[in-house]
């Protein structure tokens, strides 16, 4: 039987300087662009705290709505950044790119222990259509995924 690893297993690794992708549900309820319930942010806070103690770079991947593979300002994750910063008590870096040089440069530039939120993954056609190349390109910048 295959043992499914969990966060405790991940935390046994030396994560300093590594990049950990954290898949989270940030599909938050909003009214007129304002977040009305922060419970989904609060639910990932213990994981974020544990990962930050290990001095890794945390990249949060999430979706918001169903934009069908193209940009839709109403479904951007950028407006939730202030709420996430307030709850995590951390500066949050935002990346409109999921892959490519701009994203890679951001990861090189930020210090260990930093948090990045990627733009809505469903804006990328590769995510929406489940393309293998998109998964491979995402994985290039990731040491661990949880």
Answer yes or no: is pLDDT of 98 > 90: no
90: in domain? yes
Answer yes or no: is pLDDT of 130 > 70: no
71: in domain? yes
pLDDT for 4:
73
pLDDT for 73:
82
pTM over 0.85: yes
- Number of domains present in the structure of the chain: 1
Instruction: Return the closest-CA partner of residue 24 out of 49, 59, 75, 52.
Output: 59
**What does the pLDDT look like over 69-96, one tens digit per residue?**
777 788 889 999 999 999 999 999 999 9
Share of the chain above pLDDT 70, in %: 95
CATH number at residue 67: 3.40.50.1260
Determine the Cα–Cα distance for residues 86 and 110; give it in Å rounded to an integer: 19
33: in domain? yes
pLDDT for 129:
62
4: in domain? no
pLDDT for 70:
73
1: in domain? no
Q: In what order do the strands lie in the sheet with 92-95?
A: 92-95, 115-118, 57-61, 19-23, 144-145
68: in domain? yes
Q: Structural domain of residue 29, as residue ranges? A: 13-145
**What does the pLDDT look like over 13-57, one tens digit per residue?**
889 999 999 999 998 888 887 889 999 999 999 999 999 999 999
Section 101-129 average pLDDT? 86
Mean pLDDT of the chain: 87
């Amino acid at each position: 039987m295959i043992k499914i690893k969990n966060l405790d297993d991940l935390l046994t690794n030396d994560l300093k300087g590594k990049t950990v992708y954290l898949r989270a549900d940030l599909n938050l309820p909003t009214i007129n662009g304002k977040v009305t319930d922060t419970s989904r942010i609060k639910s990932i806070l213990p994981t974020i705290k544990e990962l930050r103690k290990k001095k890794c770079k945390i990249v949060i991947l999430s979706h918001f709505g169903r934009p069908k593979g193209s940009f839709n300002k109403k479904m951007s994750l950028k407006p939730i950044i202030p709420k996430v910063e307030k709850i995590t008590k951390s500066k949050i870096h935002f990346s409109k790119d999921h892959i490519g040089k701009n994203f890679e440069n951001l990861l090189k530039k930020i210090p260990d222990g930093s948090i990045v939120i990627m733009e809505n993954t469903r804006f990328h056609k590769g995510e929406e259509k489940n393309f293998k190349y998109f998964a491979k390109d995402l994985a290039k910048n990731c040491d661990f995924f949880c």
